[in-house]
Amino acid sequence: MGTVSCRQGQHAQVAVPHKQGGNIQGPWVRGWKSLWSGVGTTRSGLEELWRLREPPCLHQELREPAALLVEKPLSEWPVPQFITLFLPEFPIRPLREHQQLKILGLVAKGSFGTVFKVLDCGRKAVFAVKVVPKVKVLQRDILRQCKEEVSIQRQINHPFVHSLGDSWQGKRHLFIMCSYCSTDLYSIWSAVGCFAEASVRLFAAELVMVLCYLHDLGIIHRDVKMENILLDERGHLKLTDFGLSRHLSQGARAYTICGTLQYMAPEVLSGGPYNHAADWWSLGILLFSLATGKFPVAAERDHVAMLASVTHCDSEIPASLNQGLSLLLHEDS
């Protein structure tokens, strides 16, 4: 059996103020402060910036002055191992003035990194940057996974996949930059309860296309869930977070138990062997939840299996999803 690298379902992680407003306290704040002490902002300055006594909501804009997302330049030679380990996926990028990134707010704290909304002052455009402490990567033995995340995202070019903008390393952190999306499927689902059938069909069609595309490239995502599906300004889906993804060639099997518990296929939970079909199971869970407003209980697993098999039909878009597709094409024309 492979190693256990399992992410808890975020719905159960009430201690992490993931996408909710409210108090930012306790261990989360300590983590947040230590991250910032590493990126060159003093704790007291940060406390002042964020007014921790009146905690801000997530996705909330920072009040002026905005902090800069910069680390000390890396100029040593020979290059220490703490840097070479992360090459070439995370190059050393001296930040020129026009490239400076201003932090506009905190988006979310994931299990590996903290995501910030930033303004690229040079390009005058807003992006999301995931900041991952190098020490955490090494302590948790996820170096290979981190590099794979970036190389997979660099390889992908699909309208419904969140592609990589840039990646680089500072002295103590790795940075992964993407375009910024203001909301994700989980936030909307939490607010509306469940979606109308036509919307579920449309979302299903978009996700089927994405999974077929990834699987044709030999990539298994392994963490398909609402939190990892962002929405662009036109309401189209963008699959993100390739942190658990890996290349799996035709006929190969994986054994690592990983993903998010509620979405894990039975064969993943039991330690494998499993293949790309595990992503279809997660999609089945996701569609069930979007349509019903709740996660399936054990007795409803047949429905999930049915949804998974309807969506999974050898890279062809199932007829039942055609309505969603035509809606999509009509909207785009």
Ligand X SMILES: Nc1ncnc2c1ncn2[C@@H]1O[C@H](COP(=O)(O)OP(=O)(O)OP(=O)(O)O)[C@@H](O)[C@H]1O
Contact footprint for ligand X (CB under 6 A)? 7, 107-108, 110-113, 115, 128, 130, 178, 180-181, 184, 227-228, 230, 240-241, 243
**Closest CB 239 distance from ligand X, rounded Å:** 11
**Closest CB 41 distance from ligand X, rounded Å:** 20
Residue with CB nearest ligand X?
110
Would you say 55 and 88 are in contact if contact means Cβ atoms under 8 Å apart? no
C-beta closer to ligand X: residue 96 or 124: 124
C-beta closer to ligand X: residue 117 or 276: 117
Q: How far is CA 210 from CA 213, 229, 315, in A?
A: 5, 11, 10
**Closest CB 242 distance from ligand X, rounded Å:** 8
C-beta closer to ligand X: residue 201 or 222: 222
Backbone φ, ψ for residue 310 (5° rounding): -65, -40
Would you say 218 and 249 are in contact if contact means Cβ atoms under 8 Å apart? yes
Backbone φ, ψ for residue 28 (5° rounding): -65, -45
C-beta closer to ligand X: residue 131 or 310: 131
Report the distance separating Cα 104 and Cα 68, nearest Å: 9
Of the candidates 223, 279, 314, 332, the residue annotated as catalytic is 223
**What angle do the packed helices 197-216 and 277-292 form, to 10 degrees?**
170
Report the distance separating Cα 179 and Cα 173, nearest Å: 20
Burial (CB count <10 Å: 0-12, 13-18, 19+), residue 302: exposed
**Closest CB 78 distance from ligand X, rounded Å:** 31
**Closest CB 263 distance from ligand X, rounded Å:** 11
**Closest CB 315 distance from ligand X, rounded Å:** 26
User: Could you write out the DSSP letters of every residue in 114-139?
Assistant: EEEEEEETTTTEEEEEEEEEHHHHHH
C-beta closer to ligand X: residue 173 or 201: 173
C-beta closer to ligand X: residue 222 or 276: 222
Known catalytic residue: 216?
Answer: no
Kind of pairing, strands 4-7 and 183-184? unpaired
Report the distance separating Cα 280 and Cα 253, nearest Å: 15
Burial (CB count <10 Å: 0-12, 13-18, 19+), residue 55: middle
Tell me which residues are annotated as active site.
223
